[in-house]
Amino acid sequence: MNHLIIGNKNYSSWSLRPWLLLKEKKIPFEETKVPLYVEGSEEAILEHSPSGKVPAFVREGITVWDSLAICEYISELYPEKLCWPEDIESRALARSVSHEMHSGFFAIRNDLHMNCRKKMVFTKITSDLKTDIERICEIWKQCREQHADAGDYLFGSFSIADAMYAPIVLRFNSYGTSVGETERAYMDTILSNPSVKEWIAEGIEEKEFIEECEVVE
């Protein structure tokens, strides 16, 4: 049985990625949520993940941690699910933008914490944050313009790339981030996705409050 260990749905952008991939590809899994930054949370996570961080994915005695590593593992377990685009050129671009997301955009991570309950217009846009936002928009626009005829996601059909960028969509939506028409259409696609709606609704209902993730204007 596939077992995914996640953190708070309201705050844990890393957890959303493999969870969303599993949901969208209709892969059965058992979910365990460990509330973050409370007494005993680190010990609880270490029971499943040697890194002491979420998400973690356990299957038949094999444990994989880190959101992108989990997504890659799922792709290998279920090749018929086409977690990456089929053609080599699109797959190369999808991997490139996914890894860029995984390793960068620190201003967005630091200034625009994921928070499903948050709805505001964030105006303290530093030069670093502006650069990150512009690069995200550039990626979305490039991918959508190249694959517009194949569907509404970055590469037409839902892929790991969409799972990687979904938390950014939630962040931009929470903080009223201004984007172009093509990028806005992509955000609407993600926000109207039933699995994303489910995650947001459950995140909003959570009672945990992490002060450092509560951005104020």
pLDDT at 168 over 90: yes
Q: How far is CA 21 from CA 28, 29, 43, 48, 163, in A?
A: 11, 11, 27, 20, 6
CATH number at residue 73: 3.40.30.10
Q: What is the mean pLDDT of residues 155-169?
A: 98
Q: What is the mean pLDDT of residues 170-198?
A: 98
pLDDT at 123 over 90: yes
* 25 and 99 fall within a common domain: no
Phi, psi of 149 (to 5 degrees): -80, -10
Burial 111-130 (b: 16+ CB within 10 A, else e): bbbbbbebeeebeeeeeebe
pLDDT at 164 over 70: yes
Is 97 contained in some domain?
A: yes
Find where tokens 């094999």 sit.
Answer: 62
Cis peptide leading into residue 55 (ω within 30°):
yes
Is 192 contained in some domain?
A: yes
Q: What is the pLDDT of residues 193-217, one digit of tens each?
A: 999 999 999 999 998 887 777 866 6
- Count how many domains the chain has: 2
Among the candidates 81, 102, 123, a domain finishes at 81
* 50 and 134 fall within a common domain: no
Is 216 contained in some domain?
A: no
Residues with Cβ within 8 Å of 70's Cβ and at least 6 positions away in sequence, in order, are 4, 17, 18, 55, 56, 57, 64
- Which pLDDT belongs to residue 213? 73
Is 209 contained in some domain?
A: no
What pTM was estimated for this model as a whole?
A: 0.95
Which stretch of 28-42, 62-76, 113-127, 130-144 has the lowest confidence by average pLDDT? 28-42
- Which pLDDT belongs to residue 216? 61
* 52 and 113 fall within a common domain: no
- Which pLDDT belongs to residue 141? 98
Among the candidates 32, 49, 81, a domain finishes at 81
- Average pLDDT over the chain reads 95
User: What residues make up the domain containing 111?
Assistant: 88-200
* 96 and 196 fall within a common domain: yes
* 21 and 116 fall within a common domain: no
* 115 and 189 fall within a common domain: yes
- Which pLDDT belongs to residue 217? 60
Q: What is the pLDDT of residues 66-91, one digit of tens each?
A: 999 999 999 999 999 999 999 999 99
CATH number at residue 101: 1.20.1050.10
Q: What is the pLDDT of residues 23-43, one digit of tens each?
A: 999 999 999 999 887 777 888
